[in-house]
Structure 1
Amino acid sequence: MIIDIHAEIITKGYLSRLLKFRGVPRIEKKDGGYLIFYGDGLAYPFDERMYDLSVREKEMDKSGVDLQVLGLAIPGVDMFRKSVAEEIAKETNNELSEITQKNSRFLAFATVPMKYPDLAVKEVERSVNELGLRGLKIPSNVNGKPLDWEGFYPIYETAEKLELPILIHPTTPLMSEVMMEYGLTTVVGFLFDTTLAVLRLIFGGVLERYRGLKLILPHAGSVIPYLISRIDHQYNINPDCKEKISKPPSEYFKRIYVDTAQSFYLPAFSCAYQLLTADKVVLGSDYPFVSLEKSVEFIKNLNISDEEKEKIMVENAKKLLKLV
């Protein structure tokens, strides 16, 4: 069995809604596919692979992926006003639940209006208790607000209580205005933003407070594994870094799972693998932006034991999703 814990989807309801919108966010038809606009100068194309499950299943069959965890692609719902954000989140989660109930090859992470924590908590509870969704997908910042903001604490408390994994997904980076050229938003902006998000969760004391929180950081841990010595050094020399945590940042980071999305350069992947071991790595493809076949083959070709490959491709995900 192979589980892909990080796959993108634009539900048909979400697609229909954003085709009617003007301004940002919105979706437009383009060259036989679609283009989604999610910020000033920020857009990405997508095709039927993003919303047609039959196409997706064929690629899963070809790559050997048995189970895929779906999550709504960016921009999510936090760019909308309160009533619309709540409505779209509910509609999306209902559709994701319907997909998982009809097709045993899919599970899903809920989308919630993080900008409105009171609504987010209610939607987390509804999505899990009534709809059977298996986790939560949140952006790396919420319209510019960092994830260690105390207003988000009730969301983390709820996720911890329900033993839900939280996938922290890149969104519009906080410094996107200097990344518009050369595709730098996706090349480095997304990774910088998820790195910043997790470091703030660590230094801000969120992982100290919620010790049972289960976080998944995409892209082999962003750039944290590469910088971990520098991060711990800052903790050792800067008294401000010790105000809310009692251990070096690396100790908290070792509690976090990382996925393998777009991590095909072995030396870079090795940073995460050596720091966290196979116990904290899960297969994630970021499909349809990345080839499922390539994602699976990269893990199969690693010079590690079959037992470790099994952890990465299935066992760790089973634990996170409570399939065992």
Structure 2
Amino acid sequence: MARRSFLGTGALAMSGLLAGGGAILSASAQAKPGDAGRAAERASPGTLGPIDFHTHMMDPDLPNLITGSLMTEHIAAWLKAMGSPDVHLEHMDRYGVGSHVVGFSNATQGISWGDAQHDLTCYRRTNDRIARDWVAAHPGRFHGAFGLPTQDVGLSVKELERAVTVLGMKVLQISSCSPDGVYFGDRRFDPLWEAVQHHGVTVFIHPHGQDNKPPFDDFALSNSVGQGVEEIKVMTSIIYNGVFDRFPNVKIVIAHGGGFLPHYYGRLDRNAVERPPTVRNISRMPSEYLKSFYYDSCVYGPEILAALIRIVGVDRVVLGSDYPVGEADGVGELRKTPALTEMDFRRIMLETPARLLGLPTS
């Protein structure tokens, strides 16, 4: 079977990430127990509390792109966390988080391992593992995000239906594009969007990264900048191809605060005026569709998050830490955001993510 090039390029990208001594990797390994428990709204273990919409697990049956000389003690620690619901639970209890939305780490394990049928077998196994070993084994603490072989829409729709109706999962996690490089605004994905809308599934888009080629090589830019570039590409594909016009009830959460696009929308609207054919598939100005997405809070800067909230509205943002490779204390980082009220914090940490999951908040 033909193995996708993402495996090789992903390993190169991770090699570039590690070249700088690991300084830009997760703050979780540097977390101190004393950092926890500062805010009164945090949950006691086992109670409904903040919902972290962006966390990762690893499937031991899928390839691990970090091997051999790429492995460090630091990396091993967060790989261990990805493989253990118990480590997730310890982290949640330490920092007062009620539950994690957990999906497999596509940036670490790739998005394809062969042809579509083989990928379906892998995704079914991973989806079953998340539903069984994470969600069912720890009631109320995990919400599973399932994956699909998106290079074959027919197979994807069938597995979506199984994940929702049999496994009870409510979140679909996809990358920024399919294994054959097609972004999700393409009309070939209309049956998938129709199924997503019909079943009330929330889609969480998390890029698998960019190739580690010039000018991204040597400086880990395939990760630090490349993720944001991928988010721009998938968001504009969805906007300009009219997905929200054809499927107005779809719910899409973009990782990492949507990357760069929410802060660079002016040129989209300029082109809408100067080049009218660019907006032939949509009914509003391009920037207006920014408020059709949801965004996680993992942007590594309170001023950046404050700007995102001013642009899209506080009701379009959900708590997301990218645990275990992102912010060690997602709630604490969120609390640093200026000019937010207690009600704003409650919306971001609890009410909006609960609504996306179909959960009550009282």
Whether the TM-score (by the shorter chain) exceeds 0.5 is yes
Give the match's secondary structure for 2:185.
coil
Aligned match of 1:237: 274
What is the CA distance between 1:83 and its match in structure 2? 2.4
In 2, are the aligned partners of 1:68 and 1:106 still within 8 Å (CA)? yes
Aligned to 1:296: 331
Give the 3 Å change call, closer, same or farther, for CA 235–176 of structure 1 in structure 2: farther
Deviates further, 77-86 or 114-123: 77-86
Q: Does 1:135 align with 2:155?
A: no
Unpaired runs of at least 5, structure 1: 20-25, 36-43
Q: How far off its partner does 1:247 sit?
A: 0.6
Q: CA RMSD in A?
A: 2.0
> Aligned residue for 2:53?
5
Cα pair 1:77 1:88 within 8 Å, conserved = no
Q: Secondary structure at the match of 1:16?
A: coil
SS at match of 1:137: strand
Q: How many residues are aligned here?
A: 304
Change (3 A) 1:242 1:16: closer
Q: Equivalents in 1 of 2:74, 2:163: separation in Å?
A: 28
Alignment CA distance shift 1:76-1:131 (3 Å): farther
The AA in structure 2 aligned to 1:85 is D
Q: Which residue of 2 aligns with 1:256?
A: 293
Please give the per-residue CA displacement for 1:220-262, whole angstroms capped at 9, x wherever unaligned: 221112112222112221122221011101222111100012x
Distance (Å, rounded) in 2 between the aligned partners of 1:232 and 1:176: 31
- Residue 59 (str. 1) matches residue 107 (str. 2): no
Structure with the higher strand share, 1 or 2: 1
Counterpart among 115, 123, 126 of residue 92 in structure 1: 126
Change (3 A) 1:218 1:319: same
Residue identity opposite 2:297 in structure 1: T
Cα distance in 2, alignment partners of residues 32 and 253 from structure 1: 39
Match of residue 114 from structure 2: 80
**What CA distance in whole angstroms lies between the structure 2 residues aligned with 1:193 and 1:134?**
24
Q: For 1:97-143, what per-residue CA distance to the aligned partner results, in whole angstroms no more than 9, with x for missing partners?
A: 11211112001111010011110000001001000111100110113
Residue 265 (structure 1) shift: 1.6
Contact 2:291 2:313 in 1 (8 A): no
Local SS of the residue matching 1:216:
strand
Question: 98, 102, 105: which is aligned to 2:137?
Answer: 102
Q: Which amino acid counterpart does residue 60 of structure 1 have in structure 2?
A: M
Question: 2-side partners of 1:103 and 1:117: how far apart?
Answer: 32
* SS of residue paired to 2:229: helix
Percent of matched pairs sharing the same residue: 25
Aligned to 1:68: 100
Give TM-score scaled by structure 2 length.
0.79
Q: Match of 1:103, SS? A: coil
1:222 aligned residue: 259
Instruction: State the distance in 1 between where 2:246 and 2:205 align.
Output: 18
Match of 2:158? Answer: 122
**Offset, 1:207:** 1.4
> Structure 1 300/268 Cα, relative in aligned 2: closer, same or farther at 3 Å?
closer
Return closer, same or farther for 1:46/1:84 CA change in 2, 3 Å cut-off.
Answer: farther
Structure 2, gaps ≥5 residues long: 1-48
Alpha-carbon distance change, 45 to 249 in structure 1, aligned in 2, over 3 angstroms: farther
3-state DSSP class of the match of 1:258?
A: strand
Indicate the residue corresponding to 1:194 in structure 2: 231
1:4·1:283 contact (CA, 8 Å) conserved in 2? yes
CA contact (8 A) 2:272 2:279 kept: yes
Contact 2:327 2:333 in 1 (8 A): no
Is 1:18 the equivalent of 2:63?
yes
